[in-house]
Every structure is written in structure tokens, then in C-alpha cells.
Structure 1
Amino acid sequence: MALKINGLGTANPPHSISQTRAAEFARTICCENEEQARLLGVLYRRSVVTRRYSVAIEAPITAEGDSRSESSLEFDRDNASNNHSVGVQSTVEQSLYPPATDPSDRGPTTAERMAFYERCAGPLAVEAATRGIENAGFEPAEITHLITVSCTGFSAPGVDLNLIRECELSPNVARTHIGFMGCHGAINALRVAQSFVDANASAKVLLCAVELCTLHQHYGWYPEQVVSNALFADGAAALVGSAGTEGETRLPSVVATGSTIIPDSTDQMSWLVRDHGFEMSLSALVPSIIEEKLRPWLCEWLAEQGLSPDEVRGWAIHPGGPRILRACEQALNLQRADLSASYDILRRYGNMSSPTVLFILEQLIQTDNALPCVMLAFGPGLSIEAALIR
């Protein structure tokens, strides 16, 4: 049975930062010399990202050179002698990331970062879920199953309890958590949601993915982490679904999901808990591996659904970065315009990990001729997760 998408909702923290300002801030925690500062600027400019939202930003400040009044950072250049980093001393309107004191400084501990997660993840998830339920036209008490998704923090009681309490769900709602699966976690959750409506045609499922990626900004000059610093952002997205038969309704529906592990690629990507935050590693070979391996598997999986890549009208591909999107273009013989929604979400919001594909889907289904749509995301393994929406 298909998972009918009754409603979607998205949310971001209240304050954001332009990529130009983010690069200036990053110099205070990453760079030890002018050459590193120059390279950092290049990486940030090449990211495609123009703005990101973060729970670490505690107040909006109008800063010269930032295009919106909710820009997040201001810099005090008068006290630069107190900072080993090149360029600027930040008086950032945030308390999580002080400037690095020396090259061995690794920033706040994981416990300090998780304190932010405990405080901020629940309210952001509630905002997205409230919108999703309202857009679905359901009463909160009608929700029978709750699926939460996150890979950027842990706490118990957790986000699921926040959602039950603040959204006024039934205390008897069946809870499931999809944890630490990375950027494709929302697709794993769609698979679980589809299984629930397969088993119970009266089920109404609330899926909510929330990620606070900016809690894991890394100190020091480690190129893989600098790239992650340039891309990661915070956001939440919710989907409300129920049972539906393909073709019986005008509402888009998840009709199939697929998954595969690329052989001999385990060491190409990781997401690990460390003493000073969670650490992302991403080999420079990942785009070339995707370019080589994606199409054969996807063609086989789509053929099982009676489709070929040429018949897909909408592509909701997780923007792990511009190189990942370009690899997908090459692998699937697509034009940049075919991935315009993915590029647009990356540009306006950054890489929010698991909620990102739902942001893209929300944009796509508001346009004509976006179905059938294929959702794709990649994660440690290397793994590929896919969903087909008709």
C-alpha cells in the first residue's frame, strides 16, 4: 500500500548567517595563518550556500555586508591580539564557540554541545510538526504513529516526548526513532511509515526529522571538517501520511523505497561521536564513486517499479555538497536544471542532513509535472537510499 502524503511542514531556527559572515567567523576557530584563511574563503565561496540557520545564534544583529536584518554575527576587530586565529576576533552573538585560544584548542565538549541539543531540538521539531499536521487537515489526536529522525544529538526524554506534549498527540501514540543514520534518515523513516500503513490501513503517521548540525562545528585546520563547517545547517521537517492506493488520489504518495550498500566503500564516509562534537569524514573519492555506481543500481531498482530514469520528472536529491549533485548529474545524464530544487535548498538553507530531502520535496510538489519523483540520499556505508513518489 502506498503512503499518501497528506501534509508537509518545515522549520528553521529564528536566526541565520550569510556565508560571507560564516567564513569570517570560521577563521576565528580554524585558521592559524593567512594561507589557511585564504583557502577557507575559497571553500566557503564554492559551497553554493549563501545563508544558513543555526540554533547557536542567539540574537539577530544587523551587520554591515549582510543582506538581511536577521544576520547573526558581528565582529570586534579591536581585540584581535587575544586570538591566535588569523583576521578577526569575534564578538559573535552566541556562547557556544569562543575563538580558539591556541592550535590545540578543540572547542566545546560534546556534553556542552548536547546541552544545546536538549534545549533546542524539541521546539524546532514541534514547529515543523505543527505545520505538517495543520497542512494535512488532521486533528493531533488522530495521529496513531510517531517516527522521529535525528543523527546530531541524543537525549531521553527526547524529541518524541516534546512532540507528544506540545502537539497534543495521544499519549498512546506508537513511537519509533530512526537514529544516527545520517543524511538519508528521512528516507529510512518513509520506509517505516509505509510499513505502518501497510499493516494498518487506518494508521495516520507523523514523521519528524530534526537536525542541529551546527552544534558540530570543528576547530583547527582539518580540511574535511572545514568543508563540513562550510555546509552544515539546522532545520526540521515533518510529513503526515496515511494509507492510500496508488492512483486513487491526487495527493502524492510514496509507493516504493530502495536501499543498497556500495561494495568496498566503508571507509569513504563516517559520522562518529568524539570528545568535541560529532566528526564527519568524507573522502574526496565519494563523488566519483557515486558517478560510477549510482546509475546501474538505480536503473535496476526503477525497472522493478516499471520506470526508467528518463521517465522521472522530479528529482529530490540530497545536496551533500555541490560535488555530490554534479556527480548525480553525470551519473544520470541530468542537467543542472533537473536538480534546481536541490540546488535552491542548498543555496538558501545549507545541508541540514536528514530534513533536507523533505524541504526539497515540499518545493517540488508545489510545481506542476514533478511526479513521478525520485528521492535520493547517501550515507556511511557507502549507502544509497531511494524513494519513489507518484
Structure 2
Amino acid sequence: MPTDSCLPVALLSVAPAMPPHRLLQSDAAAAARRIFSHRYAAFERMAPVFDTAGIRSRYTVKPLDWYLGDLDWPERNAAYLEGAQELFVAAAGAALDQAGIAASEVDTIVTISSTGIATPSLEARVAGRLGFRADVERVPVFGLGCAGGVSGLAIASRLARARPGATVLMVAIEICTAAFRMDQLTSANMVATALFGDGAAAAVVRTGEDGLAQIEGAGEHLWADSLDIMGWKVDPTGLGVIFDRAIPPFAEERVGAAVEGILARIGVDRAAVDRFACHPGGAKVITALEATLRLGQGALDHERAVLEEYGNMSAPTVLFVLERLVRSGMPHRTVLTALGPGFTCSCLSLAA
């Protein structure tokens, strides 16, 4: 009989949610040309990113015209708060329904978000709408960026294991488009404008059940002196993206060894991994991950499909990939991976 510390944690459900406005990449490219081409000397050199990003459409909390206005930080954060609350309700409600669990049965909520400021935090703002108990434990986590979906699921699994039988809900929400900036004439801003969309995903975990899969373990690798690779800078207008170093070559050179180190620490044989489910940060990132993980070209097919349909939604995106794997039939062992600011690689192993 396993001890409490060794009890398996089951993933009971995973559910995505999208905001109401669908943005075609062709429309985003046309809008960028209208806004930037006459002000940004490097626009023609950067414009192909809209075609090479591997994105056909994205979803946004506001219609396209809203982003073209003269927006300040309060307006952007108000859009974040409004959109994030709606997505929280949609994603959490769907995940709880799938698991056959009422909101009143949730003991702990882990909320992952890095694209706006919410105090009180998001789960508190929607508690009444969803019906959480007054004694529910709240664990809001900020700053994980694109790694947040994997790291958040890892945090939720550890909390579930610490209290056998407790139901833990994890919700990852990002309103990346709140940081679309018309005033930033930089290559980083152009890449962000071509890549990011809004979305959310939720998952329910609990010990002692079969579920969709068992969470075997998780870990992270943080690279020293890598703060300049990805992050936010803050000014009176709002958040602005930091991409001071190219991510694809960094990923191809270093991620494979980092993943193997994490798997060794959690006791998972690399040869026993049937499928890597990766955060699709962009088309070039996916190709780099296939190379560094020694996968066949085109192996990350669900990742390319999610990127094409939804863009890079930061933290929730890898959970969209996982949801597709669940629908198509989970392999015996799947390892989730995501890269985020820090610069960090986060991994989590699932056994179906």
C-alpha cells in the first residue's frame, strides 16, 4: 500500500476556453501594415513574420479595432480583468463538468496568469458565480509566462498529493493581447503582434482515482544569466514584451539536455516516453523542439494544429495540445514541456 506521499495523482479532466473574437492572421497583418509601415523603418523586413509564424487565426477578448486605439495601462488591465474572468468561468466550468465534480467540492484553486494584475485575484472575483466554498484555498501564481500551464499543473498535483482526497482545480488564463502595443517600434513587438492570442484552460486533479492519466512527476530547469530571453517590461502604457535573444536556437541547443535531466530526476526513462506534448511557442520553436528532443520532423502535429488555430496563448497553450491528445487517445506515457521566462524549461510526466 503506498504512503500518502507516494499516492498517485490523477488528471481527471482538461478543458480549453476561447474568448469571443476570432482574428484572422491576414487581418492582423493588414492592420499591422496600416499602423507600422509608415513609422517603422524595419517593417518590410519584419512583415514576413505574419506568414512564417504558422498561425492562421487567433482569438481575442476585444475586436480588432479596439487594439488600434490610444490605450493606457488602466484600459488594458480593465480588458484583462473582464476577459480573464469570463474565460475562468468557461474553462473551470467545463473542466468541473467533465470530471463530474461540483464547484463546491473544490478544495484548492491554483490560478496561473501573467498578463495582467488582479487583486483580489481572479478566482476570488468569480467565486460567487461558480459556487466555490467559503473555505476554498486560493493559490494565485504570477510570472511563469508560457511555462505556466505545465508548472501550474505540477503545483496542483503536489498540493493534491499533500492532502489525499482533496480536489484541486488549476486554471491557466492569459490575455496576451492586452500587451499589443502600437507605440513600440521594435522587432520584439512585431513578433509579439504576429504570435499572441488569448485563451484559458483548466484541469482537475485528485489522488486515488484512475482519471485520464496519472501524474508521475514534474520538474524544472532554470538557466543562469538568461533573464533577457523573455519577459515583460512595464511603462505607463502597459506591459511590453522582452525578446532580447532568439528563442529557437537557444531551445535547439539546450532544451534536450535539460529535459533529459528533469526526467532522470523524477525517475522516468527517456526511452519510455511515447509522446512529448510541447508548448507551441511558434513555428520555429516547434521545429527546434523536434530537433533537440530527437523527434522526427512533423512529430509535433498537435502542436502545429493548435498554433495554427489559436496562436501562442502563453500558459494555456500546452493544455490545448494535451486536450487534443486526450481526444485522439493518450499514449501510455506523455511528457508535457514548456519554456518560459526565467529562462525556464518545465516538464511533467503523465502515464495513461
Residues 8-48 of structure 1, C-alpha deviation per residue, up to 9 Å, x if partnerless?
22111111011001111122332226975543441100000
- Whether the 8 Å contact between 1:262 and 1:381 is mirrored in structure 2 is yes
**Residue aligned with 2:240, SS:** strand
Match of 1:60 in 2: none
* Residue segments in structure 2 that go unaligned for 5+ positions in a row: 1-6
- Specify whether residues 21 and 96 from structure 1 end up closer, same or farther in structure 2 by C-alpha distance, changes over 3 A only: closer
Partner of 1:183: 146
What does 1:287-366 correspond to in 2, within 5 Å? Answer: 287-366=248-327
Aligned residue number for residue 97 of structure 1: 68
The structure showing larger relative contact order (alpha-carbon pairs under 8 Å, at least 6 residues apart) is 2
Q: In structure 1, list runs of 5 or more residues that go unmatched.
A: 58-91, 99-106
Is the deviation greater in 178-187 or in 298-307? 298-307
Instruction: Identify the residue that residue 10 of structure 2 maps to in structure 1.
Output: 4
Q: Give the aligned partner of residue 88 of structure 1.
A: none
**Which aligned pairs between 1:167-316 and structure 2 lie closer than 5 A?**
167-219=130-182, 220-244=184-208, 249=210, 251-316=212-277
Q: Percent identity?
A: 30
Give the partner amino acid of 1:254: I
Please report how far the alpha carbon of residue 370 of structure 1 lies from its aligned counterpart in structure 2 after TM superposition. 2.4
Stretch deviating more after TM superposition (333-342 or 208-217): 333-342
Alignment TM-score, normalising by the size of structure 2: 0.92
Secondary structure (helix, strand or coil) at the match of 1:337 reads: coil
Q: Which amino acid aligns with 2:53?
A: S
Contact kept, 8 Å, 1:316 with 1:374, in 2: the verdict is: yes
Number of corresponding residues: 344
Asked whether 1:129 is paired with 2:83, we answer no
Q: Is the 8 A contact 2:220 2:262 kept in 1?
A: no
- Name the amino acid aligned to 1:194: S
Q: 1:51 aligns with which of 53, 57, 61?
A: 57
1:267 Cα deviation (Å)?
2.2
- Matched-pair contact (CA < 8 Å) for 1:147–1:189: yes
Answer yes or no: is the 8 Å Cα contact 1:218–1:226 preserved in 2.
no
Distance in 1, Cα, partners of 2:143 & 2:261: 28
- 1:378 alignment partner, SS class: strand
Letter of the 2:109 counterpart:
L
* Aligned with residue 39 of structure 1, among 34, 41, 45: 45
- Residue 328 of structure 2 aligns to a residue whose secondary structure is coil
Which residue in 2 is equivalent to 1:74? none
In structure 2, what residue type is equivalent to 1:159? L
SS at structure 1 position matched to 2:349: strand
Report the Cα offset of residue 116 of structure 1.
0.9
Runs of 4+ in 1 over 3 A off after TM superposition: 33-41, 304-310
Q: 1:110 aligns with which of 60, 73, 78?
A: 73
> C-alpha distance in 1, partners of 2:334/2:141?
23
Q: Is the 8 A contact 1:118 1:158 kept in 2?
A: no
- CA shift, 1:249, in A, is 2.5
Q: Provide the aligned C-alpha RMSD in A.
A: 1.9
- Alpha-carbon distance in structure 2 between the residues aligned to 1:250 and 1:147: 19
Q: Structure 2: how far apart are the matches of 1:135 and 1:330? A: 35
For the residues of structure 2 that align with 1:295 and 1:237, how far apart are their CA atoms? 26
Match of 1:386 in 2: 347
Q: Secondary structure at the match of 2:218?
A: strand
Find the aligned partners of 2:156 and 2:220 in 1 and give their Cα distance: 16
Q: C-alpha displacement at 1:215, in angstroms?
A: 1.1
Matched residue type, 1:203: A
Match of 1:13 among 19, 23, 27: 19
Q: Which residue of 2 aligns with 1:375?
A: 336
Q: Quick check: 352-361 or 377-386, which moved more?
A: 377-386
Question: In 1, are the aligned partners of 2:262 and 2:347 still within 8 Å (CA)?
Answer: no
- For 2:38 and 2:250, how far apart are their aligned partners in 1? 33
Counterpart Cα distance in 1 of 2:138 and 2:267: 34
Contact 1:31/1:221 (8 A) holds in 2: no
What whole-Å deviation, never above 9, does each CA across 1:329-382 have from its counterpart, x for those lacking one? 111111233211111110100000111111111111222352311111112221
Conservation of the 8 A alpha-carbon contact between 1:12 and 1:235 = yes
Instruction: Provide, for residues 309-347 of structure 1, a one-character-per-residue CA deviation record: whole Å limited to 9, x for no partner.
Output: 343222221111112111111111112332111111101
1:146-166 Cα distance to aligned partner (Å, 9 max, x none): 111110111223311233111
3-state SS of the aligned residue for 2:300? Answer: helix
